[in-house]
Structure 1
Amino acid sequence: MAVKIGVISLGCVKNRVDTEEMLAELQGDFEFVQDMQDADIMLINTCAFINDAKEESINTILEAEQQKKFGKLKGIIVTGCLPERYRERLKQMVPRVDAFLGTAAYKDIRKAIEAVVAGGSFSSYPDQTIDETFSKRVLTTVPPTAYVKIAEGCDNRCSYCVIPDIRGKYQSRKPEYILEEIASLARDGYSEIILIAQDTTGYGKDLEEDIDLAKLLDRAAQIPGVKWLRVLYSYPNGITDELLEVMCRHDNIVKYLDIPIQHTDDEILQKMHRRNTWKLTEEVVNKIRNASDDFIIRSTVIVGFPGEKRENVIHLYQTLKKYQFDRLGVFSYSQEEGTPAAEMDGQIDDEEKEFRRDSVLNTQSSISLDRNQARVDKVYDVLVEGFDEHSGLYYGRSYAEAPDVDGKIFIKTQEPLETGRYYPVKITMAYSYDCIGELER
């Protein structure tokens, strides 16, 4: 009888791609189960980016340990960022876990399972060397959307961030393997391809050949079957004229840029060890707006950073109101051990951080409402993702909404719609994060 494997993937979409690659390594010899109560072995791919993510990962592991103690679960395998970051310390915290794999060890997943099935233990923490080949994956996203990782690691060394320590230096995948993967996905019916990395605009800087994100997009856009080519996680410094020209030239490269600015006050940006001043970012935002009125800009900011004063937050409010980002994620600063920011003076208490976060979110809510209301009476291609039983409406996304992080478009129609297909929808009503539209005939 085949060993039954339960899989839980936590954290970002980059983690999800790692999980999909591990699933591909296990194809053919194991049975995957949806109900964790039925699993013989549980595989938990963890996140350790901020405290909330670590807490979620630890709680998930502890629940699995309880299931192992009192249920049928025979083994627990923990992979990803948490074991990579804490190693021996984590082993002591969760003694019932049987195997630990670091962020570069996904190809060892079969060895780990075989060891656990045999009653043993297993650990693997290889050096952070990117897989140069086109890796097979078992897609866990709903068609026709798929993520493609173009690079691993990060060189930016922001003072609050542990990613370079967990994921290593920046390493780009070779373009031929990325393009082969996109072509394979497109042949299988995946028409929305989302390129991801810790910093997508850094792509190619470590490769000998003349390649960067703009050139990669130019080639990827010519692959048959790709309707939406989307890019996430772009550093402001990397938004070049060439990149914008390529995005505007190809209709299937969506005019959507995800640019984490983290703050707008130079005093805080300097403490964050960000490589850009606000003036530089300001120039980038203006350049994007001038390139096309259709561009959607999403960003993220951190509030409550050590030493952040009221005037720094006021500067953030004022700048957000001036530049009117379409989408904004707001995070309270997380004090991560081992980072320079964790040792800085002027740490801010959690209650004040949450107050600042809520205040910025309220500011952005009115901005997002204005931006969405400007879409009323316009027609968009909408990718239908499902049916909402509560409202009785289908819902989906246009090019202006990325999966998971942005709002939805709810569709009024008497016709049955097919999940995974694109339909023309006219926006009739707008809220801060979601819109309502009607099927355009």
Structure 2
Amino acid sequence: MSRKKEVKREIKQNKTYCIKTFGCQMNENDSEKLAGMLKALGYTEEDDVEKTGLVILNTCSVRENADERVFGNIGAFKTVKKTNPDLILAVCGCMMQQPEIVNQITRTYPQVDLVFGTHNIHQFPELLHNYLTNGKRLIEVWEDSDTIVEDLPMDRRYPFKAFVTIMNGCNNFCTYCIVPYTRGREVSREPDRIFDEVKALADDGCVEVTLLGQNVNSYGNDLGEDVNFASLLRQLNTIEKIKRIRFMTSHPKDLTDEVIDAIADCEKVCNYIHLPIQSGSTRILKKMNRKYTQENIIERVKKIKERIPGVAITTDLILGFPGETEADFQETLKVIKACEFDSAFTFLYSIRTGTPAATMDDQIPEDVKHDRINRCLEVLHQISHDINQGYQDQIVEVLAEEPSRNNPKRLTGRTRTGKLVNFSGDASNIGKQLLVKITAAKTFSLDGEIIEQEATHGTIDPHDDSIPANS
């Protein structure tokens, strides 16, 4: 393949940065690490790309439209660099783990100066230094890694809550998914290192942690018999200053009774589970290589709801997978109604080059996909509305997170079941656990009013009337 001759740039260093993040919480966590490394190098944040010295696009490759968004952003920087010629544009993340994407950037986007991947994010300061020294485009992408680099500096978006990566990679190879090719095989962190990180976060004022992994239920499979996700939850539950423990994401095939019991027993583990089923058709699940059946899904959800009163369960759904018939779609609707998910992230199937599903026969027409997703949303939204009505006039514990985007005089936060609550309050309440009375239950959110500035009652089940609504 012929490549254009690289031209050395004379760079006037501007020690400001802007990071644009695409994709999941793992990417958000990586961006916090990149920001931490930059601040350790003396950089400060600057949102205006016309003024900043460095822009990092941290990319996602799960959905086709994510790729299109990233390429659209990269393309825009051709114009930006005309007004800000000293700008350094770096692109990293999951998309860069695909050789064809890197080749496309090399051929088509000369405005990109630095490219690196998910496995060598810790190399970023060195790569940046090399680029600043040489002034030539630098591409450094590791194909894989069997270790997790510890103790990277972190610039957390919120002082009161944090992401904590407990493992990287995935061994499942679902036929539609590119993640095992971009994040590599499963590698778990040692539990003592995780415990120490969470304890340090707690000592620094953090009250909520979200444990991250492509499949947290597989945590510890590579570490030994005595280490698993349930034992990790129980260990972290003993950290005094931590008030809430969340996790993302669970694979249904690995959600064991032991994990369900740990969630039920540990008062700090939130009664919320994200359980991506993807389809309700056993036939389609087999084509997806998901390794469970419709019956398994319904049984697991029933077990969860029996063991964890007041639990909220959300899911992911892919509509229009290759070969999906109307009968398969009806099977998915059957499972949605049987499980009564609080909400769902719904996606139209999109071809990911390099995955088995990309070459499957019977690709579904776009109009059929859109019809099915619309009918699916009608069912999901009604269930969400009915569940949220159970919160009307109840008093719930809310962690206030930030001002409302639509009204700066109001705050937003989440219950322990992950429900979004909007309520009146000032910035002094951000980071606090509040008792909030729900005054309006909507399909996608709840409205409320503060009745106590700091929650002292502990965990509150929204369907438990032990705290009267008029207290």
TM-score strictly above 0.5: yes
Which residue identity lines up with residue 285 of structure 1 in the other structure? V
Q: Identify which range, 316-325 or 160-169, moves more after superposition.
A: 316-325
In structure 2, the CA distance between the partners of 1:41 and 1:436, relative to structure 1 (3 Å rule), is closer
AA at the equivalent of 1:400: T
- How far apart, CA to CA, are the structure 1 residues paired with 2:442 and 2:282? 32
- The answer on 1:109 being equivalent to 2:121 is no
- What does 1:212-223 correspond to in 2, within 5 Å? 212-223=228-239
SS in 1 for 2:417: coil
Partner of residue 74 from structure 1, selected from 87, 112, 115: 87
Deviations 1:113-166 (A, max 9, x none): 223323122221224225445323323432312111111111111010011111
Of 289, 308, 312, the residue aligned with 1:273 is 289
Distance 1:55 1:354 in 2: 19
Given the alignment, which residue of 408, 413, 423 partners 2:434? 423
Aligned pairs (5 A) from 1:160-239: 160-208=176-224, 210-239=226-255
Aligned to 1:97: 112
Q: 1:147 is matched with which residue: 148, 159, 163?
A: 163
Residue 398 (structure 1) aligned with residue 415 (structure 2):
yes
Q: Which residue of 2 aligns with 1:256?
A: 272
Superposed displacement of residue 340, structure 1: 1.0
Residue of structure 2 in register with 1:404 after alignment: none
Cα distance in 2 for partners of 1:387, 1:166 equals 35
CA pair 234-196 structure 1, distance change in 2 beyond 3 A = same
Q: Paired residue for 1:357, among 373, 380, 386?
A: 373
Q: Secondary structure at the match of 2:28?
A: helix
Cα offsets for 1:225-275 (capped at 9, x unmatched): 110101121011222121122111121111111110001111111111111
Query: How far apart, CA to CA, are the structure 2 residues paired with 1:133 and 1:55?
Result: 30
Q: 1:16 to 1:115 in 2, by over 3 A?
A: same
User: Partner of 1:29: helix, strand, or coil?
Assistant: coil
Structure 1 Cα separation of the partners of residues 340 and 264 of structure 2: 21
Aligned counterparts of 1:373 and 1:260: Cα–Cα separation in 2: 24
Helix, strand or coil for the counterpart of 2:27? helix
Q: Provide the residue aligned with 2:420 in structure 1.
A: 408
**Partner Cα distance (2:427, 2:91) in 1:** 42
Aligned residues of 1:10 and 1:46 also touching (Cα < 8 A): yes
Give the distance between the partners of 1:138 and 1:408, measured in 2 at CA.
Answer: 26
Residues 198-235 of structure 1, C-alpha deviations (whole Å, 9 max, x = no match): 10101011113520100001001111211010112101
Does 1:376 pair with 2:388?
Answer: no
- Residues 127 and 176 of structure 1, relative CA distance in 2, 3 Å threshold: farther
Tell me the CA shift for residue 420 of structure 1. 1.3
Q: Which amino acid aligns with 1:397?
A: R
Tell me which moved more, 351-360 or 211-220. 351-360
Q: 1:322 aligns with which of 314, 326, 338?
A: 338
Aligned length: 435
Within 5 A, what are the aligned runs for 1:31-50?
Answer: 31-50=44-63
Cα distance between partner residues in 1 of 2:179 and 2:149: 23
Which 5+ residue runs of structure 2 have no aligned equivalent?
A: 1-12, 453-471
Determine the C-alpha separation between the residues in 2 that align with 1:128 and 1:56. 25
Deviation of residue 65 (structure 1)? 2.7
Where does residue 313 of structure 2 map in the other structure?
297
CA contact (8 A) 1:40 1:72 kept: no
Q: Which moved more, 1:121-130 or 1:43-52?
A: 121-130
Instruction: Summarize the Cα distance change of 1:7–1:394 in structure 2 as closer, same or farther, 3 Å threshold.
Output: closer
1:93 offset after TM fit, Å?
2.6
Instruction: Describe the SS at the equivalent of 1:380.
Output: strand
2:70 aligned residue: 57
1 CA distance for matches of 2:75 and 2:49? 14
What are structure 1's unaligned runs of at least 5 residues?
Answer: 402-406
* Matched residue, 1:4: 16
* 1:30 aligned partner: 43
SS in 2 for 1:36: coil
Matched residues in 1 for 2:416 and 2:394: separation? 13
Q: CA RMSD in A?
A: 1.9
Return the TM-score normalized by structure 2: 0.88
Greater alpha carbon shift after TM alignment, 310-319 vs 390-399 = 390-399
Secondary structure (helix, strand or coil) at the match of 1:61 reads helix
**Residue identity (%):** 29
Instruction: Using structure 1 for the length normalisation, give the TM-score.
Output: 0.94
